């Protein structure tokens, strides 16, 4: 698959092994894994960091193989939700960092372009999440209100 804002078409990187069942050495107790996910979320971890912690500390290489659903679905089932999806929040944090950088370095044209690309990704994601029902239809991206949304 091609990259969004560059010429590259590379697909290098690690891939998960194709498997339908959890490994024999892994922790596959559903109740324990769900309890760990809820505890880690209440401690303030994002879904990506919850997956990493489960992999590294608790021998759960893939939550979906053990539980049959994603971490975000488990959290929503337990009534733990966030205002914005994690990928969108990461992009908004990145845009905020770029805005702060451009306030100090106004002639940095490379990062001005990166901010424009980042904001276009945010708008694209917002269209998807509005269509999905995750975001309200009246939500719009506003650069001057970004700091309030992120914090």
pLDDT in tens, 135-151: 999 999 999 998 888 87
In a domain, 5, yes or no: no
Same domain, 93 and 39: no
Same domain, 103 and 145: yes
In a domain, 17, yes or no: no
pLDDT at 8: 79
Which stretches of the chain drop beneath a pLDDT of 50? 1
pLDDT at 2: 66
In a domain, 19, yes or no: no
CATH assignment of the domain containing 122: 1.10.287.10
- Separation of CA 98 from chain center: 19
In a domain, 4, yes or no: no
pLDDT at 119: 95
Same domain, 100 and 72: no
What range does the domain containing 58 cover?
30-77
pLDDT at 11: 77
In a domain, 99, yes or no: yes
Question: Domain count of the chain?
Answer: 2
**Domain end position, chosen among 39, 60, 77:** 77
Shortest CA distance to 141 belongs to which of 132, 121, 131?
121
In a domain, 42, yes or no: yes
Same domain, 69 and 94: no
Tell me: the pLDDT tens digits for 72-92?
A: 999 999 998 888 899 999 999
Q: What does the alpha-carbon distance between residue 139 and residue 67 come to, in Å, rounded to a whole number?
A: 33
pLDDT at 149: 85
51 HSE (CA, 13 A, CB side): 15
pLDDT at 15: 81
């Amino acid at each position: 698959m091609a990259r969004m804002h560059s010429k590259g078409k590379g697909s290098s990187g690690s891939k998960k092994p194709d498997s339908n069942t959890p490994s024999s050495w892994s922790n596959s107790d559903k109740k324990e894994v769900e309890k760990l996910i809820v505890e880690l979320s209440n401690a303030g971890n994002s879904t990506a960091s919850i997956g990493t912690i489960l992999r590294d500390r608790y021998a759960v290489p893939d939550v979906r193989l053990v539980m049959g659903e994603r971490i975000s679905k488990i959290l929503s089932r337990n009534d733990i939700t966030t205002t914005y999806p994690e990928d969108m929040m990461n992009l908004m944090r990145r845009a905020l960092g770029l805005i702060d950088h451009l306030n100090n370095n106004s002639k940095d044209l490379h990062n001005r372009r990166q901010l424009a690309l980042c904001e276009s990704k945010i708008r694209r994601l917002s269209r998807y999440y509005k269509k999905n029902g995750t975001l309200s239809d009246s939500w719009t991206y506003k650069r001057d209100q970004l700091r309030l949304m992120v914090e």
